[in-house]
Chain A
């Protein structure tokens, strides 16, 4: 069943009219307006972090590729059937030359990101970043003395470790959630959560106090089908059933989520009712719809009384064990077009210096092929985009791409040279975490690593 956006808004409005909830919506909006004025006097200007998770393990080896003849030839031999043609790669003009003298190109289907890197200088790469519990080397890995994150190369574990930012810690909260715990007081607390997921449940946004509000890529959704007198009778009964005392913890939690969803829907549907966004987004892409909805919610940040937001969106299909070349052709084209559309939308909203989008993924993939694809590996290259990004550079150390070389722990699995902690800390500092105590709250292992700031972000005033 495809519901058009207009249709579901109409349904939501009808649902609201059939109930007493319209009154509480008005009350909430009044509260927001009063609180907004108060909030605007503290906490600085708006900031949003957008985590875009590439589920399945993006083969970053084919996203940023060495193109100088010497290094490309090593690449082509090692990758065999999954090597991209040298002439097809889109050259990257680096602000700072590669210390090893290599030059790099982008996957042929990412011209939008090439332009943002070369021309706008608003896109940066974080090279060879991955989960670590302490700095280590391939040699230590191979002789068994490296201290390692639990369950390397396992999807579910590595996704969680990227998202918690604490590989050897309890898996109960994520680094985005802990960040939100610290900064949620900058927002009006009567509004929706500052953590908004367009991709359902995730570990990244779970905090001790703040948890995420999950919105569909078409916006918030409310209960429907309660029109007329009898509908009102039923709606009242539904609410009464939710509000019964529930001894069973699962019943109580289900009722709580449902009540929260009803309230959130009323607030966000009202706030979004007047939003316009003219930037075109790619059609027929869930990721595109997610990012467009994020831009719309950012557009109504003042109506919601919000000065800090953390978004989570995701796209799947990156687990390219087979048919890698054709699959990545589609996925990376989508990624490039969607990230560009989102960036252009933040320009339209005059908020592009206040919104930073960054990518994460389970892991990269083996440099060696299994024939048609590649298998689970470790250190990967990530993307950071926004007007606060010091773009046009590859940060960190791009690995030496030699099977059995200094960075390889087997079949071309690169030992990360930068930890997820360091990558995340750089973003957290931009977001407004200044003290080392707070930084350690967000990223408890950060003290084990050299860098709390990789340098790819311009700090905001």
Chain B
């Protein structure tokens, strides 16, 4: 199934803006919500979201807030490449203009002696640190390699960052006609364009002590530099661990990471970096599939991000608005999250975040807990509660309403209602204690209020700790 794209919907929304209203991020946000709730390629969109939290581009505090097509183009790139090859993904990401804007590769010039300037190191550093290999050499099971003193071994040093910064010189907005380096309007739709006169052609020190010879073309430099990253032994375990954390569990076993890293190294047909094989390995792994693992371990699973929680609710109950729009307001305030809207390249939360208390004492990480604050537990519960009870409003056709008719039909049978929701929302994992509480509450709502009974059951389920922690 090919990727459902957000660019056409964003373009239609921009075309429909009233005269005098400039395009902005909300048009992308609407297209994103519509796509993740309504599109058939759900797994692809879910993986794209995970990738968007690893290879971060953000409209937050950026001039790109006024360019929803920039966010849409980047999102569609992630959705298209989610099931492609990782080598293609990193090349597409590297040349994407929104990434170029976000991490300053666009208009990155070769050293200029007169102005005493050096190439910009931003993209070079984060491509290695955050997107592909990380700071320290890894074993294939994701653990750090240690030197004879028991210390982790850095994967690169400042010289390598500067080497990559020189590789990534000479790219600017795509232009038609006679291209110019001096000034061109931004173009967030096409990959950045090469300007060989502004590319540094000196020798470059890159990963693993490799030196690129002087005098290569811009394209040769780029391909060789990305090949070196792609073939670095860290990439498999690095990508495996991050994707497992986003999709399944915060603390995968070393064996689980190894199995996924092996699928990254070889898809069974000798191909490295096949994302389909990687995602299959993640989702079909016994550690992900066996419910006894989920229930017997006290540390399995991860927190559903607030944004994902709301998307789960909207999808489970076929939400829609009379207008056909899908406008979700207040996301950043209520969730500390909005699509392609992280506060920085470090995403909304760090993969290393460990909540103080029993989680940290157990030596575990809990990335999503970094945005699980005294404030957001309240605001996200309030926002999701409000979504559950939303009713059609003739004065506001944009109100998003859940279709709870199947649940309303079960209102006279609270136990049956709760059991059906348990299957739909919680893979049948609800504890008997929780079931008793929810059934008891529904029973106390007057039997004639059938919709309110359904809403009560959904509301209590989706704000409960057992739902919030996906296992």
**Contact residues of A with B, CB < 8 Å?**
1-3, 55-56, 77-81, 151-157, 172, 197, 200-201, 206, 211, 213-216, 220-225, 230, 233-234, 236-238, 240-242, 244-258, 260-262, 264-265, 316-317, 319, 321-322, 366, 368-373, 375-376, 403, 410-411
Contact = CB atoms under 8 A, between A and B. Distances in A.
A321 B104 contact: yes
A376 B358 contact: no
14 contacts: A153-B158, A206-B356, A216-B379, A230-B456, A234-B441, A237-B438, A237-B440, A237-B441, A249-B299, A250-B250, A260-B374, A262-B378, A317-B61, A375-B121
B116 A368 contact: yes
A224 B380 CA distance: 11
A244 B431 contact: yes
A254 B378 contact: no
Interface band, chain B = 35 or more
B129 to A, nearest CB: 6
A250 B302 CA distance: 7
Interface string B37-56: 00000000000000000000
B355 interface: yes
Contacts of A155: 344-346
Interface in B340-359: 343-346, 350, 353-359
A237 B433 CA distance: 11
B469 interface: yes
Nearest to A205: B356
Given A78-B116, A153-B158, A375-B120, A249 B298 contact: yes
A198 to B, nearest CB: 10
A287 to B, nearest CB: 13
Given A250-B469, A371-B117, A371-B120, A261 B378 contact: yes
Contacts of A242: 465
A157 B135 CA distance: 10
* Of A222, A256, A258, most B-chain CB atoms within 10 Å: A258
A200 B120 contact: no
B280 interface: no
Contact of A223 (B336, B378, B389): B378
* Of A172, A222, A241, most B-chain CB atoms within 10 Å: A241
Contacts of B471: 248
B338 to A, nearest CB: 12
A214 B121 contact: no
A265 B378 contact: yes
Contacts of B301: 248, 250
Contacts of B120: 321-322, 370-371, 373, 375
A250 B374 contact: no
Nearest to B130: A156
A183 B61 CA distance: 38
A55 B377 contact: no
A160 to B, nearest CB: 9
Contact of A241 (B329, B369, B434, B445): B434
Contacts of A201: 353, 369-371, 373
B118 A1 contact: no
A411 B161 CA distance: 13
Given A223-B381, A254-B377, A258-B381, 11 more contacts: A79-B116, A80-B117, A234-B456, A237-B437, A241-B465, A248-B298, A255-B465, A261-B373, A261-B377, A321-B104, A371-B107
* Of B118, B334, B354, B449, most A-chain CB atoms within 10 Å: B118
Contacts of B437: 237, 240-241, 244
B460 A251 contact: no
Interface stretch (B64-72, B75-83, B141-149, B360-368): B360-368
Contacts of B154: 151
Contact of A369 (B115, B379, B440): B115
Contact of A250 (B118, B303, B345, B460): B303
B298 A376 contact: no
Nearest to B350: A156
B385 A225 contact: yes
Interface in B114-173: 115-122, 125, 129, 135, 154, 158, 161
Contact of B117 (A233, A234, A253, A369): A369
Contacts of B440: 237
A216 B366 contact: no
B466 interface: yes
Nearest to B386: A225
A79 B381 CA distance: 49
Interface of B: 61, 103-104, 107-109, 112, 115-122, 125, 129, 135, 154, 158, 161, 250, 298-303, 329-330, 333-334, 336, 343-346, 350, 353-360, 362, 364, 366, 369-379, 381-382, 385-386, 389, 431, 433-434, 437-438, 440-441, 444-445, 449, 452, 456, 459-460, 463-466, 468-469, 471
B118 A366 contact: yes
A322 B62 CA distance: 12
A377 B250 CA distance: 32
B359 A80 contact: no
Contacts of A197: 373
A77 B377 contact: no
B108 A370 contact: yes
A200 B371 contact: yes
B300 A223 contact: no
Contacts of A368: 116-118
A331 B10 CA distance: 31
Contacts of B366: 250, 253
Contact of B115 (A80, A233, A249): A80
Contacts of B378: 221-223, 258, 261-262, 265
A213 to B, nearest CB: 6
A403 B111 CA distance: 15
B112 A371 contact: yes
A254 B117 contact: no
Given A154-B135, A156-B350, A245 B118 contact: no
A225 B119 contact: no
A200 B373 contact: yes
B374 A213 contact: yes
Contacts of B370: 200-201
B158 to A, nearest CB: 6
Contacts of A244: 431, 433-434, 437, 465
A172 B359 CA distance: 12
Nearest to A264: B374
A221 B456 contact: no
Given A55-B344, A373-B120, A252 B358 contact: yes
Contacts of A154: 125, 129, 135
A251 B297 CA distance: 12
A234 B468 contact: no
A318 B22 CA distance: 27
A157 B444 CA distance: 52
Contacts of A233: 441, 444-445, 456
A142 to B, nearest CB: 11
Contacts of B376: 200
A156 B346 contact: yes
Nearest to A323: B63
B374 A321 contact: no
A251 B469 contact: yes
| 7 interchain residue pairs of minimum CB distance | A1-B330, A214-B373, A237-B441, A261-B374, A370-B120, A251-B465, A321-B104
